[in-house]
Amino acid sequence: MSAAGSDRPDRGHDPADRWVDDRRHAPATQRNREPIGDCLATILPATGLVLEVASGSGEHALFFARRFPALEWQPSDPDADAIRSIAAWRGAEGTANLRAPVMLDASAPDWPVDRADAMLCVNMVHISPWDATIGLFAGAARVLPAGAPLVIYGPFRSADIPTAPSNLEFDRSLKMRDPRWGLRDLADVDALAQASGLMPAARHGMPAHNMLLEFRRI
């Protein structure tokens, strides 16, 4: 799942990923898709278009399109390998409500999607420059109607929650790969959201020391 195009290396080359023809397989998606889906079931609208930013391999898009058949699912990514993987999963196993992927750089001022009824972004904020998160909230303010949700999943830091040792080590490893990466402080994310026209609505604890953050367009 990528975010900022030329601003960062291609995550498709992550050694944890495996390839099946053009379909990339990221093992983490198998572990987190069910708990993410359970939360999304309480957040997403009954119908409409969901824009997924930084769809990566496309496995989440495939799974969630199946789980929420009344919703149109629009996957996106700025990376060409990711787009090929998403398209391959869609071609092999996709459902009618799973749209063809589009190239979308979260940090860009212009997106190829100009409206959505909800947005989802999984595991991008900590593996991209902060500009990508700024762009994510700016984009959400442009494309979402009032009251619509932006949902962000991943590991975060918080002053009121002790950071797990595994997350501290993960943060160090991310910064070694790229000093612009790393776990973000929830206070900074919330402040950015409010400055962008979105209000923090809920925090959901998730397995493996991750969180699912829910914001609503003001």
pLDDT, tens digit, 9 for 90 and up, residues 148-183: 999 999 999 998 889 999 999 999 999 999 999 999
Q: Can you give the pLDDT at residue 9?
A: 33
Asked whether residue 93 is domain-assigned, the answer is: yes
Q: Can you give the pLDDT at residue 18?
A: 56
Closest Cα partner for 125 from 161, 156, 158?
A: 156
Residue 3 has pLDDT above 70, yes or no: no
Closest Cα partner for 154 from 213, 210, 77?
A: 210
At 175 the three-state DSSP class reads: helix
Please, are residues 96 and 120 in contact by the beta-carbon 8 Å criterion?
A: no
pLDDT tens track for 71-107: 999 999 999 999 999 999 999 999 999 999 999 999 9
Closest Cα partner for 155 from 195, 183, 121?
A: 183
Domain count, the chain: 1
**CATH code of the domain covering residue 174:** 3.40.50.150
Q: Can you give the pLDDT at residue 15?
A: 43
Q: Can you give the pLDDT at residue 8?
A: 30
Q: Can you give the pLDDT at residue 187?
A: 97
Q: Work out the percent of the chain whose per-residue pLDDT is above 90.
A: 87
Q: Can you give the pLDDT at residue 106?
A: 98
Closest Cα partner for 106 from 40, 36, 52?
A: 52
Asked whether residue 216 is domain-assigned, the answer is: no
Confidence band (pLDDT; 50, 70, 90) for 20? low
Confidence band (pLDDT; 50, 70, 90) for 7? very low
Residue 5 has pLDDT above 70, yes or no: no
Asked whether residue 143 is domain-assigned, the answer is: yes
Asked whether residue 175 is domain-assigned, the answer is: yes
Residue 12 has pLDDT above 90, yes or no: no
Asked whether residue 217 is domain-assigned, the answer is: no
What range defines the domain where residue 130 resides? 5-210
Asked whether residue 142 is domain-assigned, the answer is: yes
pTM: 0.90
- Strand ranges (E), the chain: 18-20, 23-25, 48-53, 71-77, 102-103, 118-122, 149-154, 156-157, 184-185, 198-206, 210-217
Please, are residues 52 and 65 in contact by the beta-carbon 8 Å criterion?
A: no
